[in-house]
Amino acid sequence: MSILNTDGAPDLSQVIAGVVFKNPVIAASGTFGYGREYGELIDLSRLGGICTKGLTLRPRTGNTGQRIHETPAGLLNSIGLENPGIPAFIEKELPRLRELGPVVIANLSGSTVEEYAEGAALLNDAAIDMIELNISCPNVKAGGMTFGLDPEAAVSVVGPVRKAAPDKPLAVKLSPNAPDLAAVARACVRAGADALSLVNTFKAMAIDIRRRRPVFANVSAGLSGPAVRPIALRMVWELYGALREPGAAAVPLIGMGGIAGAEDALEFLMAGASAIQIGSATFPHPQTMIETIDGLKVFMEKEGIKNLAELNIRGGAEKTA
């Protein structure tokens, strides 16, 4: 649902779970830190939202060994949730992040249900706008993606997090590695998710042929970037449909995976996403998100499209609020 009406100009605003985004372009978790590094390169106030690096209750140093490896059309990462811990995030990063203007989304991760719930309780009392519950990180040994692969495991963490953070809108970030993504998604909605983000990275690997061993200490890593975009788009398309089958409850989708400009973003918005996130594309080209916002506006102006709901080609009015 758009709410900001400007005189004739296309309205890029979006409301997701009651949170107002001035445009649908959000910095993806883990690719933007807490906004600090990019402040000198782009006007952060123009972004629709900023999603933090995955936060855990206690500080984590992340994985050892190589953490990033480029592929011809993508990026493999095995960062392993390096972060200062939720209390330090709230004290040291959040006040500055809050002042920038965009919607602040805290990406929450953990190894156990208890750890997730304790973290959620702290975030419930913090000045963030939304929690993105990460049950899809492929780069940690315990927790992370294991919760996102099957509906029961997902409910076991979404339920307690929902309970621990009753005041915050809750998006659950899904794994493209789940054998039945729609089943996990429906279970998350039943357990209290207000929105769903998709997709996290795809489990993948690389081998160092000279050293004759896997590049990453964990063997597998997460693939993102242009290589995954058509698959991620197909997943958004299918999930949009699956959540509208009889008996299912529809919630807004935040789409991502390989988006590197306005044309890519438009595909996701047409497929049914209410907003999009951009991650890997920011590394080689920090202006990507700003150019995407400008490009969306130009496209909508040229095509006579007044608001984001009109971009959705799946038919019917969107339930986004």
Site for ligand FMN, rule CB under 6 A: 28-31, 53-54, 75, 77, 79, 81, 107, 134, 137, 173, 200-201, 224-225, 228, 256-259, 278-281
Nearest residue to ligand FMN, by Cβ distance, number only: 30
Structure tokens at 140: 């940690």
**CB-based burial, 43-56: b 16+ in 10 Å, e otherwise:** ebebbbbbbbbbbb
**Cα–Cα distances in angstroms (integers) from residue 106 to residues 26, 203, 212, 297, in the given order:** 12, 23, 39, 27
Least distance between ligand FMN and beta carbon 182 (Å): 19
Q: Could you give the CA distance from residue 311 to residue 10 in angstroms, rounded to a whole number? A: 11
Least distance between ligand FMN and beta carbon 132 (Å): 7
**Cα–Cα distances in angstroms (integers) from residue 203 to residues 125, 176, 248, in the given order:** 34, 9, 28
| CB-based contact 314:233 (threshold 8 Å) | no
Structure tokens at 212: 């004759």
Least distance between ligand FMN and beta carbon 55 (Å): 8
Least distance between ligand FMN and beta carbon 75 (Å): 5
Secondary structure (3-state) at 156: helix
C-beta closer to ligand FMN: residue 13 or 224: 224
Radius of gyration of the chain (CA): 18
Of 139, 159, 157, 140, which Cα lies nearest the Cα of 148?
157
C-beta closer to ligand FMN: residue 70 or 303: 70
Of 269, 277, 267, 278, which Cα lies nearest the Cα of 318?
269
137 is catalytic: yes
Least distance between ligand FMN and beta carbon 4 (Å): 26
Residue 275 one-letter amino acid = A
C-beta closer to ligand FMN: residue 177 or 280: 280
Least distance between ligand FMN and beta carbon 266 (Å): 15
Residue 200 one-letter amino acid = N
Which residue's structure tokens are 């500080």?
59
C-beta closer to ligand FMN: residue 238 or 310: 238
C-beta closer to ligand FMN: residue 75 or 243: 75
Q: Could you give the CA distance from residue 319 to residue 317 in angstroms, rounded to a whole number? A: 7
> Choosing from 137, 153, 154, 278, which is the catalytic residue?
137
C-beta closer to ligand FMN: residue 47 or 307: 47
Question: Residues with Cβ < 8 Å from 181, sequence gap 6 or more?
Answer: 174, 175, 198, 235, 238, 239
Catalytic site positions = 137
